Chain A
Amino acid sequence: MHVIVCIKQVPDTTNVKINPETNTLMRDGVESILNPFDEYALEMGLKLKDTQGARVSVITMGPPQADVILRDAIARGADDGVLLTDRAFAGADTLATSYALSLAIKKVNEHPDLVLFGKQAIDGDTAQVGPGVSEYLGYTLLCNVKSLTVEGNHFQAESVYEEGSDIWEGDFPCVMTVLKEAPAPRFASLRGCMNARKAKTQWLAAKDTNADPERLGLKGSPTKVVKIFSPPVRDCEMKCVWKSDKAKALSSILDALKKKGALK
């Protein structure tokens, strides 16, 4: 069994701030991390290595420094890692990304049994690349997976939606996207860290994937960002300090509730 886990290096968005003067992203000191959702996808793959003896490969697309997350995954137990890196991939939207990733997957294995993604990446939040890759591979798709059991070529998986969840049965191959409700990711072992340091990751450029250059990067992206701006801010109309005037604080809340019809 061969499991491919697609992972992404993302800026730690909890720390991204906007420079109020220039209205631009302040990227200095923003750390890059392995997308938190992808850790759960990786764990789901590694569980299959434990129980089924599956080979687990990780693939990422990004700049050369994204190689670190491949090594992080190898340290946790992945067998091999592929970095898709080329300026031709830059500026890709979800269509172009899905295309490039699906070619890289085929390069690693024409017929992997299972391709896993985290539910979404925290920088883009689109959740579209997993479904996109399933289309290019022609694999069936199961999103928001919480648990997975495997018997030979057969699987049973629980997929969660707003009001509940469905348990589905099927045969591999399949593309799945994994939720944080899935089993918690493991830490790297000491031995894993040593393996990761010595591991040879495979770097692929656009030409190695036999990609149509017209369908890569910015050129291959139907969506164009035409404007970027700061989210509108509401000014705090009134602020009172509880300690200095409790009566005023209370009456202003009551007045507001009355005005908005919550208190008759």
Chain B
Amino acid sequence: MDEAPIIINQDKCKGCKKCVKGCPFGALEMVDKKATLVGDCRACMSCVEACPFGAITARKNENANAADLTQYKNVWVFAEQRGGKIHKVVFELLATGRRLADDRGCELCAVLLGDQISGQAQDLIRHGADKVYVVDQPSLGEYEADTYTDALYKLIDKYKPEVILAGATAIGRSFVARAAVRARTGLTADCTNLSIDKETFLLHQTRPAFGGNIMATIMTPNHRPQMSTVRPGVFRANEPDPSRNGEVLMEQLELVARKLKLVKSIRKEGDSIDIAEAEILVSGGRGMAKAENFGMLEDLAHLLGGTVSASRPCVDAGWISSARQVGQTGKTVAPKIYMAFGISGAIQHLAGISGADYVIAVNRDENAPIFGVANLGIVGDVMEIIPALIEALKKAKAGN
């Protein structure tokens, strides 16, 4: 066990068991009244903090290649686009990236890959970028993992960014993970909070783990770039500033040949509503009992100028389209008002609404976990309450 990430000083250990309770992985036990590592230590250092006697210390990592790391500078945002339209998560990342770059005292750069997309570069500058690296060539037309990985990696290799942020979208979650492996560095998925450590200047990446039951802060101390993905809707974009100036650098890259051929693109029809953008969400859960009852939610949403969304069981039951699903496997939302009707509040659902400003929950079960995150909770039957609320809203509106 001499390679364990922690060192336990048996002389200092008083057998208080605080480290045993503090270890989230159950890796510590008391053996002969002394703390002993018996399981797999994941280097979370909870025990180091828990020990009142300073008996547990972190083993110093000797793999660091400090000379190499100093070559890396600047914060990059991958400016994802499809069909020439920049994904909204990019503007959210530019706002966060701006803050990180200012805290680090470096430049914020955007990376724009595609075909005939150079025109979008100024928009990225207006949203906070100091520099935009543009690779504009036909082989980057439709997104394909091989060519995009090659392009991003070649830029990383040439300019050596310290931090890269990308959207946790279908595109971001595929090739960015591959580019990180090619760069032999770490990538932290679905971060909900990013900050620069004031002393070490390392990127602190916080993300939900174990289905949102627990939050973990992750760092990439000895490898560069430090890479993170962030789900759309988690951060807020800044208003564009037309007076901002920046530099656009056109890059010509020799890229690998495409191995796949696009036969057909199918755009989803009908439901083009993006619940991640909604300011008011009227959301239904299993307690709505059947598809027909979502009509009431539509009426309510209409009165409030809101949008209807749902929890996963409703989508699984086919009551509503999957585009409307809120939660870990659906969308992360950040409305001003989130109304939850008949949603019990499984942890996966709660993970998706942590960005909501004000939560109103209506549920029959007074112990439903949704009440734990609600600002206003009504215990009762949704079938009675929704019609009464619609009536009251109509009256209130007529009264004005």
B residues 247-273 in Cβ contact with A at 8 Å: 259-268, 272
Please give, as numbers and ranges, the residues of chain B lying within 8 Å of A182 by CB-CB distance: none
Contact bitstring B171-209, A, C-beta under 8 A = 1, else 0 = 101110110111011111110000000000000100011
| Cross-chain pair count, CB within 8 angstroms | 295
Cβ 8 A contact of A168, one of B149, B261, B379: B261
The answer to whether A221 and B174 have CB atoms under 8 Å apart is no
Please give, as numbers and ranges, the residues of chain A lying within 8 Å of B40 by CB-CB distance: 87, 90-91
Closest beta carbon of chain B to A159's beta carbon, Å: 8
Closest beta carbon of chain A to B323's beta carbon, Å: 8
Please give, as numbers and ranges, the residues of chain A lying within 8 Å of B42 by CB-CB distance: 91, 218, 225
A246 close to chain B: CB less than 8 A: yes
Contact bitstring A187-230, B, C-beta under 8 A = 1, else 0 = 00000000000000000000000000010001101111111111
Residue of B nearest to A89 (CB): B40
B359 close to chain A: CB less than 8 A: yes
Contact A252-B380, Cβ < 8 Å, known A231-B208, A262-B306: no
Please give, as numbers and ranges, the residues of chain B lying within 8 Å of A161 by CB-CB distance: 82, 169-171
Closest beta carbon of chain A to B277's beta carbon, Å: 13
The answer to whether B211 and A225 have CB atoms under 8 Å apart is no
B residues 12-71 in Cβ contact with A at 8 Å: 21-26, 40-46, 63
A237 to B385, CA, bound (A): 20
The answer to whether B209 and A124 have CB atoms under 8 Å apart is yes
The answer to whether B375 and A236 have CB atoms under 8 Å apart is yes
A residues 1-48 in Cβ contact with B at 8 Å: 11, 13-14, 16-18, 22, 24-25, 27
Please give, as numbers and ranges, the residues of chain A lying within 8 Å of B43 by CB-CB distance: 91, 218, 224-225
Please give, as numbers and ranges, the residues of chain B lying within 8 Å of A136 by CB-CB distance: 181
Residue of B nearest to A133 (CB): B181
Closest beta carbon of chain A to B341's beta carbon, Å: 11
Q: Which of B112-120, B157-165, B389-397 contacts A (4 or more CB under 8 A)?
A: B389-397
Closest beta carbon of chain B to A258's beta carbon, Å: 9
A19 to B237, CA, bound (A): 36
Cβ 8 A contact of B384, one of A141, A170, A242: A242
Please give, as numbers and ranges, the residues of chain B lying within 8 Å of A143 by CB-CB distance: 145, 170, 173-174
Contact A223-B218, Cβ < 8 Å, known A16-B210, A135-B181: yes
Cβ 8 A contact of A125, one of B144, B189, B380: B189
- Chain A interface secondary structure, helix, strand, loop or mixed? mixed
Residue of B nearest to A238 (CB): B376
Residue of A nearest to B223 (CB): A222
Closest beta carbon of chain A to B82's beta carbon, Å: 7
Please give, as numbers and ranges, the residues of chain A lying within 8 Å of B182 by CB-CB distance: 135
Please give, as numbers and ranges, the residues of chain B lying within 8 Å of A128 by CB-CB distance: 173, 177, 180, 187, 189
Residue of A nearest to B83 (CB): A163
A134 close to chain B: CB less than 8 A: yes
Contact bitstring A123-162, B, C-beta under 8 A = 1, else 0 = 1111110111011100011111000000000001000111
Please give, as numbers and ranges, the residues of chain A lying within 8 Å of B208 by CB-CB distance: 125, 231
B residues 214-266 in Cβ contact with A at 8 Å: 214-223, 259-266
A83 close to chain B: CB less than 8 A: no
Cβ 8 A contact of A228, one of B144, B184, B216: B216
The answer to whether B145 and A167 have CB atoms under 8 Å apart is no
A17 to B24, CA, bound (A): 12
Q: Which of B21, B186, B222, B372 has the largest count of A CB atoms less than 10 A from its CB?
A: B186
B residues 336-380 in Cβ contact with A at 8 Å: 336-337, 346-348, 350-351, 354, 357-361, 366, 371-380
The answer to whether A239 and B377 have CB atoms under 8 Å apart is yes
A171 close to chain B: CB less than 8 A: yes
The answer to whether B389 and A237 have CB atoms under 8 Å apart is no
The answer to whether B262 and A167 have CB atoms under 8 Å apart is yes
Cross-chain pairs A/B with CB under 8 angstroms, 5 sampled:
A14-B211, A127-B173, A163-B82, A230-B214, A239-B366
Given contacts A123-B211, A167-B264, A250-B392, 8 further A-B pairs with CB under 8 A are A95-B184, A131-B173, A131-B174, A165-B265, A165-B266, A227-B45, A227-B46, A243-B380
